[in-house]
Structure 1
């Protein structure tokens, strides 16, 4: 109950006080990347229940001759990379937190297509609401391997507490300032999870 109360209060205040930042960021995205301003995607929430996550868009809608989207590193611009490195692209997720789809702290919501690929232990990351930030994000973020990330997610599920959440939020601010772990080496973001045998 304390965690949910904190989520509601912080996300509501964040949306109010960060409204100028949200407005300027949206305007710059519209000017530099075009429409739509927001990136919406169905992600698994608590228990694997789908919800629509909302972020600021960071990539161009560039496609190859066959109509498929170009690789991430060919679609992301320097402006998009700036949004990601400063985590400005994540700010609209405060709306997801306010609605109850997400929490401020928890395992990051990944792709729906990963659900059948998890081991039973890895699937336990869905025993809590996904978070805007989490234990894996302050311990390497996208620079971690999938195995490391999942182990940290499950560790958080087993050890979550008010004070751990406060620690993660504090460390998140430090990570954003330092811009650590934005991507894996040689990748624009992170390689896709292909299952435990890949």
Structure 2
């Protein structure tokens, strides 16, 4: 009971901090956001913002906002895979995490938090084990424990282990450590992609992986 009360108090205080921090960041970064939007329009065209449904707290679906980092899919021009659609400009956006800045609006709205498990694809919801589903007990984050522990270079299993570890041990000290580690990770450009891929391979549940191997 004491632990539940402690987590409830932390979650409330964290939400207050998220609102204040994301609101202030959006105001301060407005010129930078406008400049990046212009660069995206020039280099990748429109739309400038990438919007996609993602599951959040309790598995409820919201619309995630990011700057576009890939060209539109076009089979006639050979732009189908992520490798084909990702440009040098898009790679820089991802490596510096500048593509994530519009997600501050998601934080302000309450869809996300500054720190938490990354919001993944809606189609993954039915592929999680009961333990992996615990990642949805908290708001998803712009950065998280998995992101500062290897990012896309980690296996899916390890990422989910770290997500659940965060859910169980979340605290102000943990969030501060993750935020500081995020700055170091972005500067060092660690774990931007999975081995042999420009992004992350698709997550498949255990039965699907077993079926592929037969």
- Taking structure 1 as the reference length, the TM-score comes to 0.97
Q: How does 1:4-153 map to 2 (within 5 A)?
A: 4-65=15-76, 70-153=80-163
CA 1:77–1:68: 2 relative to 1, 3 Å: closer
Consecutive aligned runs of 4 or more in structure 1 exceeding 2 Å deviation: none
Q: How does 1:158-177 map to 2 (within 5 A)?
A: 158-177=168-187
Distance 2:121 2:23 in 1: 26
* DSSP 3-state at the match of 1:21: helix
* DSSP 3-state at the match of 1:119: coil
Distance 2:15 2:131 in 1: 25
Of residues 181, 186, 206, the one that matches 1:196 is 206
Gap regions ≥5 residues in structure 2: 1-11, 210-214
Alpha-carbon distance, 1:62 to partner: 3.0
Gap regions ≥5 residues in structure 1: none
- Taking structure 2 as the reference length, the TM-score comes to 0.90
Distance 2:38 2:78 in 1: 27
Q: Verify the 8 A CA contact 2:49 2:68 in the aligned structure 1.
A: yes
Distance 2:195 2:145 in 1: 20
Distance 1:113 1:47 in 2: 15
RMSD across aligned positions (CA): 1.3
Alpha-carbon distance, 1:69 to partner: 6.3
Number of corresponding residues: 197
Q: Verify the 8 A CA contact 2:71 2:79 in the aligned structure 1.
A: no
* DSSP 3-state at the match of 1:138: coil
Distance 2:29 2:184 in 1: 19
* DSSP 3-state at the match of 2:200: coil
The structure where helix makes up a greater share of residues is: 2
